[in-house]
Amino acid sequence: MNTNLEVMFPIEVGTWNASIEPWRAKYGKEIRGVGGMNKTCFSRDYKAIDEEVERLKRLVSLGGYIPCPDHRIAPDAKWENVQYYCEKIREAFR
C-alpha cells in the first residue's frame, strides 16, 4: 500500500494564492495537481481570462497538472466569460 501523497486538490489560488509549482520544486514530479485556476477572472474581462490561460500554460507544461476551478464558480461570474474561458482552454490544450 502506497502511503505517499500523490495528488493535490484543491490548489486554491483565490484564498491561498497557491500554485503547484513550489510543491513540485519540493516534492518533484511525483506530485500531481488538479485545480489552481484563478476563477476570479470570470467576473472581470477577456483580458484577465487570457492572462490566466497563459499562466496555466506554463504550469501544464510541468506535466501531471489539470487546470480547472477548484470549487464553485462565484455568483458574480459572467456566463459569457466562462464560455470564453472554455474556448480558450480548449484551444490552448488540444
Q: Please give the pLDDT value at position 75.
A: 92
The more confident residue out of 80 and 59 is 80
> Residue type at 49?
I
Is 20:33 a contact under the CB 8 Å cutoff? Answer: yes
Describe the crossing of helices 46-60 and 79-92 by its angle, rounded to 10 degrees. 30
Q: Domain locations in the chain?
A: 7-92
pTM value is: 0.82
pLDDT at 4 over 70: no
CB atoms near residue 71 (< 10 Å): 11
- Decide if pLDDT at 2 tops 60: no
- The confidence score (pLDDT) of residue 31 equals 87
Give the DSSP H/E element, type plus range, for residue 7.
strand 7-8
Calculate the dihedral angle through the C-alpha atoms of 72, 6, 89, 39, rounding to the nearest 10 degrees: 30
Computed over every residue of the chain, the mean pLDDT equals: 87
Cis peptide before 67 (omega within 30 of 0): no
Overall average pLDDT of the 38-51 stretch? 95
Length of the chain: 94
The pLDDT of residue 87 is: 96
Q: Quote the pLDDT of residue 89.
A: 93
For cell 511525483, what's the residue?
Answer: 30
